Amino acid sequence: MLRKVTARSERWPLTGSFRISRGVKTAADVIAVEISQGGRRGRGEGVPYARYGETLATVLSQIGEATRRIEQGLPRSDLASVLPPGAARNAVDCALWDLEARLSGRSVAELLGQPPLTPIVSALTVSLDAPEAMGAAAAAMAGVELIKVKVDAVSPADCLRAVRAAAPRARLIVDPNESWTIETLAAMQPVMREVGVDLVEQPLPAGDDGALSGFESCAPICADESVHVARDLPGLRGRYDVVNIKLDKAGGLTGALELLAAAHAQGFGVMVGCMVSTSLSIAPAFHVARHAEFVDLDGPVWIAADYPGGAVQRGAELLPPADALWGAPEVQAQLHEA
């Protein structure tokens, strides 16, 4: 039976500014994909990321070039033959998972042989700002157990100390987004010990990974920009302890599950992260996050008006999106009108 593929760009305004070392976001710009077959419809979302050379236009073009094969019934397992890992394959892959659930009458959890999703402890992010403002943001996160602190190379010690003073009991992830050098990382070790950092995420630019060989850090070091798919893992041995799995890097739930299995087999810890996105991106990521040591799926928390039934942060826990949004047999949620 033939399918029908549609893809469009959408802009979802944020509640404020989300700043990291590379720039500022005020909206989530995403690609939404719908795949219809047999009276059912599956949906997926991808977030183009300039760091990887992606734009809304390039992702839509990739999907357009692959549409004929997908509409003719290309299996999800063969998507890698027409789409590289990235936002385009993520949106299509997740739409096909959703469609399979709708057509089969079985949820994605059931298709994976897993129980229904449950709430999960997820980080909330303190975006990069003046130390005083970051402290105030952390103070507003009452009951949160895990905080991710965005820093750059300007005043990371002051930022970390401000967040720790405002949130004395939370576990901390520090994320420089490739903005540090090996010298900065070394100089920050006493500060990270002082404030009690649990994880440092991608401190150096991906191309400078070699400097981490043999480096002894007071906190585990997590690869983010340095890892996309399972074949990247061998090059990270001896440099990283943990890998951050994002569906937009791995090319969807299928690629993320492959990376998860390979990371566990090769002795890496696992973090599951996200881009700034709606809950349509977060719903499939939950199926990987349930197997991770660190979870950072607060993308929808920044959205001013998310999908009905979207993920909700309640204290320390992130509640999974409603079944109607993604990955369950019956479609009940209404599509967002851009």
Task: Give me the active site residues, please.
Answer: 150, 246
AA letter at 54: E
Cβ contacts of 315 within 8 Å, gap of 6 or more? 142, 143, 144
Residue 33 has a CB neighbour count (10 Å cut-off) of 29
SS (H, E, C) 60-116: HHHHHHHHHHHHCCCCHHHHHHCCCCCHHHHHHHHHHHHHHHHHHCCCHHHHCCCCC
Q: Which strands, in side-by-side order, build the sheet including 120-121?
A: 120-121, 317-319, 312-314
At residue 299, what are phi and psi to the nearest 5 degrees? -50, -50
Amino acid at 147: I
Phi, psi of 317 (to 5 degrees): -105, 150
Which of 53, 45, 112 lies closest to 84, judged by CA?
A: 53
Decide the pairing of beta strands 23-37 and 197-201.
unpaired
What is the spatial distance between Cα 39 and Cα 273, in angstroms, rounded to a whole number? 33
In whole angstroms, give the CA distance from residue 311 to residue 335: 16
